[in-house]
Amino acid sequence: MDQGEFALSDREFSRVKARVYKEAGISLSEAKRTLVVSRLGKILRALRLGSFDAYLDYLEQHGSPADAQDFVNALTTNLTRFWREDHHFTHLEGYIGQLMEKRPRQGANGRPKLRIWSAGCSTGQEPYTIALGLLAAFPNLKHWDFRILATDIDTNVVAKAAAGIYPEAELNGLSRERAALFEPAGAGQVRIPAAAREVVSFKPLNLMHNPWPMRGAFDAVFCRNVAIYFDKKTQGELFGRLGSILVPDGFLYFGHSENLGAGGADFRLVGKTIYQARAQQKARDAA
């Protein structure tokens, strides 16, 4: 079948929207109809199904967990690059520098702990940028209990990110100093060095699942260009949960077109799409 042979009726589009909202909290607008036809059409051809109704019936009646994941993977967008929205990483370095000066030794191994979460990590450029930048700026971090959790709902991009291999063209536009942080991998590719790969843990995670499996608080959370796919209700719920998982005075980094809106009571805006958790609010919650 040619892609053009698949027609998406209003009723079918409503069924697609309802399913992806229930599964992933994603709110599809009318402008996404072409995307739905293009991406789901590939699955219809692979399954030899003749309509979107037939595909949705298949998911509901016979689909496996893998089929359900393929549906979600097809409808997520994974546009990213290294050092995207550079001001966030500049702010993060300043914040971590302050933490390193004042944070006492902690934990059974006597090493200070540092935890950062990249929520919606896509193909890994964001968490690897954090790791590369911080390890270059603060060599002593190798003596810390330093970990970055990187999660995404799309299992395909998580698997790709974990490999740490990228086309050399990904370095276009980076300074010579930043480009030098990567290792040549041959065949026009570059590799994330082992020291940076080892501090990043990639996991599939649906942000709509409750509770989240992570334990302990994060010093910083990057959740950039994720909330734009949710409606206001879902955004408000997400913002509240992100606030609860940050340390007092920890930072939340959003995408350039996002803001906390009505969900920002537990935060204060300190920079361009940079929010700080209000310590006094978290103290009241803990009381």
Give the catalytic positions in this structure.
39, 152
* CA–CA separation, 81 and 63 (whole Å): 34
Tell me the one-letter amino acid at 181.
L
β-pairing, 189-191 with 183-186? Answer: antiparallel
79 token code pair: 């546009």
Beta carbons of 115 and 216 less than 8 angstroms apart: yes
Q: Which residues contact 143 (CB under 8 A, 6 or more apart)?
A: 111
Neighbours of 206 (CB within 10 A): 15
**H/E element holding 160?**
helix 155-163
* CA–CA separation, 283 and 287 (whole Å): 6
Residue in the block written with tokens 């995207």: 84
Cα angle value 46/78/21 (rounded, 5°): 70
Q: What are phi and psi of 248, to 5 degrees?
A: -55, 130
**Closest listed residue to residue 214, CA positions, set 73, 122, 287, 119:** 119
